[in-house]
Amino acid sequence: MIRRTGTLGLTLLMAAGMAMAQKPKNIKPGWNLFSLEQDIQLGKESAAQIEKQVQVINNGDLNAYVNRIASRLTAQPEAGKFPYTFKVVNDPSINAFALPGGPAYLHTGLISAAENEAQIAGVLAHEIAHVSLRHGTAQVTKGQALQMIAGLGGAMLGGGSMLGQLAQLGVGLGANSLLLKFSRGAESDADLLGARMMAKAGYDPIEMARFFQKLEEQEKASGRSTPQFLSDHPSPGNRVKAVSAEVQMMPKNNYSRGDEADLRRMQGVVKGLPAPPKQTNFRQAGDPTTGRPNGQFKQFQGNGLSVAHPANWEVFQSQGASEVTIAPQAGLVDNNGNADIAYGTIIGITSATGNLDKDTQTYIQQMMQQNKDMKPANQGGQRVTVSGAPAVLNLFYNKSAFANQREVDAVLTIEHPKGLVYMIMISPESEYQAAQPSFERMIQSLQVGR
Ligand SMILES: [Zn+2]
């Protein structure tokens, strides 16, 4: 993976611990620069991306079961008016997640682990609360407000892919994505709002907290790694106590834990499913062939350069950086909230002394310092000519974000009156041959203004 130079680090704002108020806390969505429509659009695009990488189960019984529980919850005012969808993912890990605007997913492992229907309702209510409180886009707003206001505010209103625009902010769908992993304050709010939703739907809200507590105890007892749900939804402290306090403030009611027989039947259905695919975790890079150039080309002009690029790749211009990244969605990999490039190109210009060999060496040393796994494959580079200008081509092997293979990075540096023009061509080794003609066409078409 090649780190982009233009992205800024992100700060996760950890909200202070939850206060034990006597009155129900007023829970509202936080500051958000996205519109409701943008939440929904972003959720649709993210869902399309994620569903390429997880196995969604199409089982009528399971779908009907989860949707029956979910519809009781989404009917409550706390859920807001979002186009919710609920799908079951064939994955033994205990997890659930929701995307902005409504798409929500429940792992089969969670259905197997639940003790009663109310616990499943609790997890769903918690996820619905994240959507309704718009935690994903609120977090991006908090982390990236300046950049959004400075540059993207306008662009976000125009068409184009929301995911692509977020990638420009360095926000992807990977591990620790701002869209999917929330602060403890947000977790606490989702617990409380979810508990209210459950209570109104007739489910015993304390079962939500009990389920989370059970996961925490399992983790402690086994000493194994944290269940996925807890790592995506970190505990804001004593969940049972906080939810119990919330329940105390609710009108007394005859809550239900749901239908016992139904759950056992569903757990049987889960057992009968085909083995889940081998850990195809969408939080790592997926199938690199989905990013392969499609043979058609588009022209990009901007940042002082013009270049033809594969039509199925997108252009990402870093704010304030004299660099553009042109890459397929599948080539963007989340690195703690920043987008690294595992497949694609980075083109830019950097200051130079006019001595091509020396400037190339300086540039490559900088790159290798930022990317510790890069190892030269052709020492000293190869002299070439690009549109009549002297250039050097250096090849490197690197760690690939794609499973079981290494990455090839070809770094082309070209002498130019304005400085040293560089073009980094990144691909997993398995895609190197397939991408080669497109990289060559990009090089031939590259023009940098004088
Ligand atoms: Zn959560």
In a domain, 278, yes or no: no
pLDDT of residue 30: 85
Closest to 309 (Cα-Cα) out of 427, 432, 442: 442
Cα of 129 vs centre of ligand 1, distance in Å, is: 8
Which one has a higher pLDDT value, 223 or 240? Answer: 240
Q: Are residues 300 and 333 in the same domain?
A: yes
Domain stops at, among 271, 306, 337:
271
Task: Specify the DSSP class assigned to residue 227.
Answer: P
Average pLDDT of the chain, as a whole number: 83
Cα of 215 vs centre of ligand 1, distance in Å, is: 14
Q: Are residues 206 and 333 in the same domain?
A: no
Q: Tell me how many domains the chain contains.
A: 2
Rounded average pLDDT over 32-58: 90
Task: Specify the DSSP class assigned to residue 404.
Answer: T
Q: Are residues 16 and 149 in the same domain?
A: yes
In a domain, 223, yes or no: yes
In a domain, 280, yes or no: no
Both tokens of residue 164? 């692509």
Q: Note whether 313 and 324 are within 8 A (CB).
A: no
Domain stops at, among 240, 271, 302:
271
Report the alpha-carbon distance of residue 52 to residue 287 in Å, rounded: 9
Contacts of 119 (CB under 8 A, 6+ apart): 207, 208, 210, 211
Q: Are residues 63 and 196 in the same domain?
A: yes
Rounded average pLDDT over 86-98: 92
Cα of 182 vs centre of ligand 1, distance in Å, is: 7
pTM for this entry: 0.60
Closest to 174 (Cα-Cα) out of 351, 402, 413: 402
| Position 222 confidence tier, pLDDT thresholds 50, 70, 90 | low
CATH number at residue 442: 3.40.1000.10
Cα of 115 vs centre of ligand 1, distance in Å, is: 20
pLDDT of residue 178: 74
Q: Are residues 243 and 339 in the same domain?
A: no
In a domain, 409, yes or no: yes
Cα of 223 vs centre of ligand 1, distance in Å, is: 22
Cα of 111 vs centre of ligand 1, distance in Å, is: 17
Rounded average pLDDT over 323-335: 79
Both tokens of residue 270? 């889960």
Q: Are residues 297 and 257 in the same domain?
A: no
Which residues have CB less than 5 Å away from ligand 1 (the ion)? 187, 190, 233
Tell me the range of 87-96, 164-173, 216-225 where mean pLDDT is highest: 87-96
pLDDT at residue 147 tops 70: no
Q: Residue 292's domain spans which residues?
A: 288-448
Q: Are residues 64 and 203 in the same domain?
A: yes
Judged by average pLDDT, the poorest of 17-21, 140-144, 343-347, 446-450 is 17-21
In a domain, 227, yes or no: yes
φ/ψ of 68, rounded to 5, equals -65, -45
Q: Are residues 206 and 316 in the same domain?
A: no
Q: Are residues 405 and 437 in the same domain?
A: yes
Q: How many CB atoms lie within 10 A of CB 11?
A: 10
* Cα pseudo-dihedral 370, 371, 375, 378, rounded to 10: -70
Cα of 125 vs centre of ligand 1, distance in Å, is: 10
In a domain, 276, yes or no: no
- Most distant CA atoms of the chain, gap in Å: 82
Q: What is the pLDDT of residues 420-440, one digit of tens each?
A: 999 999 998 888 888 988 998
In a domain, 359, yes or no: yes
Q: Are residues 41 and 182 in the same domain?
A: yes
